[in-house]
Amino acid sequence: MIKVKQLGKEYGGHHAVKDLEFSVGEGELFAFIGPNGSGKSTTIRMMTGLLRATSGSVELFGEEMGMDKVHLKRRISFIPDTPDLIGKLTGREYLNFISSAYRMDETDFREEQQKLLELFDLEGKLDTLVEEYSHGMRQKVALIGALVHRPDILFLDEPTVGLDPKSNRNLKNYLRDYITQGKTVFLTTHNLALAEEIATDILIIYNGENLAHGSLAELRGRLEEPDATLEDIFLKLTGGI
């Protein structure tokens, strides 16, 4: 589903991302973790065709991704770390807009939207202007917009920031279930407990480079620490302790 080869991004001679290589298959949840400024958002923006790479390439569904690849973009969703929704629309108008942009069947849209509104406790709150929502409510509307058309690949940059504990748990369960249906999730997060619970594959990026990559069991094996949490592993490898 995703193949990243020798991917790099330079800003004025500074390597924000360097020689990244990895693949993500169908039914996998890939957790992409790293300290602040390590290159996660830069990478995800290159993968979703929002930012041009300085070197290397990204393939989605076996085809090279690019800024103009609308037919590939139709099959993915991306929620940036600070979603910028149109404030003058109501939640309902925003979601209707998403439905028409993705040319969804009306019945499928209503059904999926209803499920997601229940999941995130947003029923009865769709007729408020987006700019009047709290931060967490805006995040939920962005999530519903990303999930409602059931993309084949879901890119999430820090999706749990601002979510209350119940929504956090519901999102976690939703993502777990989503990949069992053959979908793919690419997630960046500082919530290492979440990554530990649901990731099938983990890559730690540090100063723009791949520091470690594997399943939790493989990372534990490499450090010869069978009981280590992902937080232990992360802090050990990134010099946090």
Ligand X SMILES: Nc1ncnc2c1ncn2[C@@H]1O[C@H](COP(=O)(O)OP(=O)(O)OP(=O)(O)O)[C@@H](O)[C@H]1O
Which residues in this chain contact ligand X in the complex, by CB under 6 A? 11, 16, 34, 36-42, 81
Nearer to ligand X, 38 or 77 (CB): 38
Upper half-sphere CA count for residue 46 (Cβ side, 13 Å): 24
- Least distance from C-beta 180 to ligand X, angstroms? 28
**Maximum Cα interatomic distance, the chain, rounded to a whole number of Å:** 54
- Least distance from C-beta 17 to ligand X, angstroms? 7
In this structure, what DSSP letter does residue 82 have?
Answer: S
| Side chain identity at residue 166, one-letter code | K
Q: Give me the sign of the Cα torsion angle 109, 184, 47, 208.
A: positive
- Least distance from C-beta 42 to ligand X, angstroms? 3
Nearer to ligand X, 164 or 209 (CB): 209
Nearer to ligand X, 85 or 161 (CB): 161
Nearer to ligand X, 18 or 172 (CB): 18
- For residue 107, give every residue at least 6 positions away whose Cβ sits within 8 Å of its Cβ, in sequence order, or none: none
Contact at 8 Å (CB) between 72 and 65? yes
| Side chain identity at residue 152, one-letter code | D
